[in-house]
Structure 1
Amino acid sequence: MKKLKYLVLTGVIISALASAVAQQTVRQKPLIIAEQGSFLVGGAKTTQPGSFVLTDALKPAGQTFHADHAYAFYQIPVKARKYPLVFLHGAGQSKKTWETTPDGREGFQNIFLRRGYSVYLLDQPRRGEAGKSAVPATITPTADEQFWFTQFRIGNYPEYFEGVQFPKDSASLEQFYRQMTPNTGSFDGNVIADAVSDLFDKIGGGILVTHSQGGGPGWTTAIKNDKVKAIVAYEPYSGFVFPKGELPEPIASAGLFGELKGVEIPLADFNRLAKVPIVVYYGDNIAKEPTKVWNKDHWRSGLEMARIWAATINKHGGDATVVHLPEIGIKGNTHFPFSDLNNMEIANLLSKWLKEKGLDK
């Protein structure tokens, strides 16, 4: 009996040790960072008329106000590749988009650090840690999280889409809801692009990675600044630009924001987009044909406009590709492919593209 107990206990210990070893094998190796920090970039400065009076210091007269800058947190790994990745978030988001996923896995920040890329995570002007706005705003607490669940194609609330690449536990969903970040001033794509362009002036050449609403300011940044060496856009919707005389008809949609329109710009500006490689990714559960299912139809119009836009860039000698993930066998992705359960597969896809374009040196 004692021998049996000993064997059982030994088996338990060996099993526990094997489990511990298995867990260690899936743990990531420590990241070695050569340099990290943060700074504010871009923005405007105003000065009130008059003179500052020390004994009446609460009066604005003669005082300055700095606003509309972007916030950048950066990390540079040992033996970094030539071009850093600059990450710009979308609507209602912040640099948190690219950090730890809602269920606690590594996001693109760490994934690409491990692959030797320096990373710059931005909070756009009037958002997050760049919240000092030059224009007034009222932030009203509004119950709208089930709208965002549906708009971002996690499912049609309260149901998750079948096979969706989003964790279905309540803790992850709460983390997702809590990462929503309000504007502290009205959205202004030109203000954002100016700040991001200033960032590229500061750091030199790099690859701009945008999400959703960040797509429009991303195109504008590349038009303003030739230090943008490539653009990677995840699910852009608004802000598609076209040369004068080539603006497509608006695309009707059952989405809650109505039809989707392009923006007309001078041909000389548009042609600057033809000088850099561009890739655009869209996830799953997007309608192929018009439908009354409003979230699927909203993103149908976005995908359709993106394809027209890419074709226009390529007609002008550019290199733009639109990738609809289900069409290449990657299923279930939401509006946030880079933080979905298969974000490593999504990262591998991007790494492959960067290598193909010679941007991984």
Structure 2
Amino acid sequence: MTAADGVERAAGARAPHEDAVPAHRRRGAFWLPGDLREDERGPWQLGPAWVQWEAPAEPAGRPTLVLVHGGGSQSTDWLGTTGADAGWAELAVRDGHPVYLLDRPGHGRSPWDPARLGLRTPFPDHAGLDFLVPRDGERAAAHTAWPWARTAGTPHADAQVASSSGLLLDMALGQDLDARRLVDLLLRTGPAVVVAASAGAPAAWLAADRAPGLVTAVVALEPLGPPYLELGPLGRLSDGLTAVPLARSAAGGPTRLAGLPVCVVTGEASGRLAADRATVAHLRDGGARVDHLELAAHGVRGNGHGLAAEANNAESWALVAEWIGTATAGSPST
């Protein structure tokens, strides 16, 4: 097939929909309005957020999942758009879970307004891809769960860079708005398991603290840490795992994370093991019921920081799904 400009399509090429798994689903999308503010020009919103959702055609009694993306990224991370053919969102729906995907304020389809949200770090380029997909050295050799090419001009690397954006420089404002919108979303979904990656994890800790009845468990994929991490121009995790204070009971008692089921997930080749072990210890000290799922110890090898989108993501999802089933047995589901 030849286009009018003379560019030829590769022989045997197929459109994405031709290879998709047929499915009968319920799906939709909606906006979470931002915090109402007013100035001399009139009312405006601070930090609105976009949500899309998908669920099995018939309820299966499985817990609702809310997926919160990491860093300078967006909710497409959960769709398998950069690596594996099916992302965790699809795998979860196949397993019977309703799934909600949140674009954190200022990321993805949630508008970034620099006048109100402040500046952000530069958009990553191919050199910046090394954080997720190292190209050289020991980490690259160990990172076998990304079997695709890693250089500019190759499909998977280009897609990963295309999906990325910067992080808000005002980390405390970003985390607070993430948590506000996450709580707003949970008020609509009802009790849910929050699955959060990397810099999306502070929203999960804050939401669980602010609305403990709505967060039945947290799965944290290589969460931002270790505790009290200094992040240069972004600031510091001044409250341990967040840059925003968690509420505490009188006399400086524990947060409402006490008793919360948490699963921290760590890949083999990300270089995050020591940081995640420190995060696990911090959460346990605060009373959370934490399991540390080190993937390699369960035979899931070679994962980097973007483990939910890598070639073996169905294997890592299966371990997480099993944990969710155990951790939420008897919890409310929708």
TM-score of the two chains, using structure 1 as the length reference = 0.72
Deviations 1:16-39 (A, max 9, x none): xxxxxxxxxxx7742211x32111
Determine the C-alpha separation between the residues in 2 that align with 1:140 and 1:319. Answer: 34
Question: In terms of mean alpha carbon deviation, does 131-140 or 204-213 score higher?
Answer: 131-140
Show CA shifts across 1:179-206 (max 9, x none): 1023577442111101100111111111
Any gaps of 5 or more consecutive residues in structure 2?
Answer: 1-18
Contact 1:67/1:132 (8 A) holds in 2 = no
Equivalent in the alignment of 1:279: 263
Aligned partner of 1:73: which letter? Q
Secondary structure of 1:272's counterpart equals coil
CA–CA distance in structure 1, aligned partners of residues 138 and 123 of structure 2: 19
Aligned pairs for 1:175-190 within 5 A: 175-183=159-167, 186-187=170-171, 188-190=174-176
Cα deviation 1:58-102 (Å, max 9, x = unaligned): xx3xx3212302211011212223521100001111001101242
In the alignment, which residue of structure 2 is the partner of 1:304? 277
Q: Residues 200 and 346 from structure 1, CA distance in 2 versus in 1: closer, same or farther, beyond 3 angstroms?
A: same
Q: Which residue, 23, 40, 44 being the options, matches 2:35? A: 44
Give the corresponding residue for 1:79.
58
The equivalent of 2:148 in structure 1 is 168
Name the stretch that deviates more: 267-276 or 343-352: 267-276
- The DSSP-based 3-state class of the residue aligned with 1:117 is coil
CA offsets, 1:126-173, max 9 Å, x none?
Answer: 112111446154468666432332x22544379832452013232111
Stretches of structure 1 that go unaligned for 5 or more consecutive residues are 1-26, 50-59, 241-249, 287-295
Amino acid of the residue matched to residue 208 of structure 1? V
Q: Aligned residue for 2:206?
A: 220
**Residues 259 and 88 of structure 1: is their aligned pair in 2 closer, same or farther, counting only changes over 3 Å?**
closer
Distance change in 2, residues 1:171/1:43 (3 Å):
same
1:31 aligns with 2:23: yes
User: Contact (CA 8 Å) 1:212, 1:233: kept in 2 or not?
Assistant: yes
Contact 1:306 1:322 in 2 (8 A): no
Q: Whole-Å Cα distance in 2 between the matches of residues 256 and 198 of structure 1?
A: 29
Aligned pair partner of 1:100 in 80, 96, 107: 80
Label 1:215 to 1:69 Cα distance change in 2 as closer, same or farther (>3 A). Answer: same
1:188-337 superposed matches below 5 A = 188-225=174-211, 226-238=213-225, 240=227, 262=240, 265=246, 267-268=248-249, 270-285=254-269, 296=271, 299-313=272-286, 316=287, 318-337=288-307
Are 2:67 and 2:100, in contact at CA under 8 Å, matched by a contact in 1? yes
Contact 1:44–1:68, Cα closer than 8 Å, also in 2:
yes
Seen in structure 2, the aligned counterparts of structure 1 residues 203 and 142 have a Cα distance that, compared at 3 Å, is closer
Report the CA distance shift for 1:181/1:158 in structure 2 as closer, same or farther (over 3 A): farther
RMSD of equivalent CA atoms: 3.2
Q: Percent identity between the aligned chains?
A: 21
The answer as to 2:104 corresponding to 1:124 is yes
C-alpha distance in 1 between matches for 2:111 and 2:105: 6
Measure how far apart 1:40 and its partner are: 1.4
Letter matched to residue 45 of structure 1: L
- Amino acid corresponding to residue 230 of structure 1 in structure 2: A
Q: CA deviation at 1:118?
A: 0.7
Distance in 1 (CA, whole Å) between partners of 2:92 and 2:257 is: 25
TM-score by length of 2: 0.78
**What is the distance in 2 between the residues matched to 1:189 and 1:136?**
11
Distance in 1 of aligned mates of 2:254 and 2:129: 32
Counterpart position of 1:9:
none
